[in-house]
């Protein structure tokens, strides 16, 4: 049995898509939803899906090794970030080398880095007059959006597109590709 922990800070739509994707696969389990936000929508989604939730604060995450140790004790095979906004601490990255992955709502290396998440990314893409955007699925290291790229998918942008239009197009790509790429990474690690 392969075990996945999903880290999320927001509504949890990607977390739910991943959980749905693996719901009928006997060899994979979403073992835990991990969040730093006690008001995140992902918590309600996790409860509805009967997935345990672990909440933590900044001090626990950065000043202790409790989260890392808990994930090791739970025999987590892969950590999937799905709208998780905090930088991963070094002890966690070292404990799970090439076993932490993230999805970014743009084509890295463009529009990445600290502060470039969610709507900020789509606003920057439109302001720059880009003709395409997309998603980048990548491994996580100790810097924002600089880990090795695993997969990218592109979407066209027309001059009349607003940041909301781009966000919708990108979310379609996220929901279509992220669960499948999570499975590929998980199964290629045997």
- The full set of domain ranges for the chain reads 2-187
Joined together, the tokens standing for residue 78 give: 């892969």
The rounded distance, in Å, linking the Cα atoms of 162 and 149 is 27
2-187 is a CATH 3.40.50.170 domain = yes
Query: Exposure of 187 by Cβ count < 10 A (0-12 exposed, 13-18 middle, 19+ buried)?
Result: exposed
Taking the complete model, does pTM exceed 0.85, yes or no?
yes
- In this prediction, residue 91 carries a pLDDT of 96
Average pLDDT of the residues of the chain: 96
- Which pLDDT tens digit goes with each residue over 52-76? 999 999 999 999 999 999 999 999 9
Q: Look up 122 and say whether it is catalytic.
A: no
- In this prediction, residue 189 carries a pLDDT of 73
- In this prediction, residue 190 carries a pLDDT of 59
User: From the candidates 50, 75, 104, 177, which is the catalytic residue?
Assistant: 104
């Amino acid at each position: 049995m392969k075990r996945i922990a999903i880290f999320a800070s927001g509504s949890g739509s990607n977390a739910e898509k991943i959980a749905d994707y693996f719901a009928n696969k006997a060899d994979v389990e979403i073992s835990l939803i991990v969040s730093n936000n006690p008001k995140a929508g992902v918590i309600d989604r996790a409860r509805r899906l009967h997935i345990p939730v672990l909440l933590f604060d900044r001090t626990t995450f950065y000043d202790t090794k409790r989260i890392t140790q808990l994930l090791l004790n739970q025999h987590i095979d892969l950590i999937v970030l799905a709208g998780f906004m905090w930088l991963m601490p070094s002890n966690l990255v070292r404990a799970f080398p090439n076993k932490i992955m993230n999805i970014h709502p743009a084509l890295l290396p463009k529009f990445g880095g600290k502060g470039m998440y969610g709507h900020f990314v789509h606003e920057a893409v439109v302001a720059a007059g880009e003709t395409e955007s997309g998603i980048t699925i990548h491994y996580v290291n100790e810097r924002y959006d600089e880990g090795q790229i695993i997969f990218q998918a592109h979407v066209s942008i027309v001059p009349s597109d607003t940041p909301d239009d781009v966000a919708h197009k990108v979310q379609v790509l996220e929901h279509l590709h992220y669960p499948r790429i999570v499975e590929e990474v998980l199964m290629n690690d045997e």
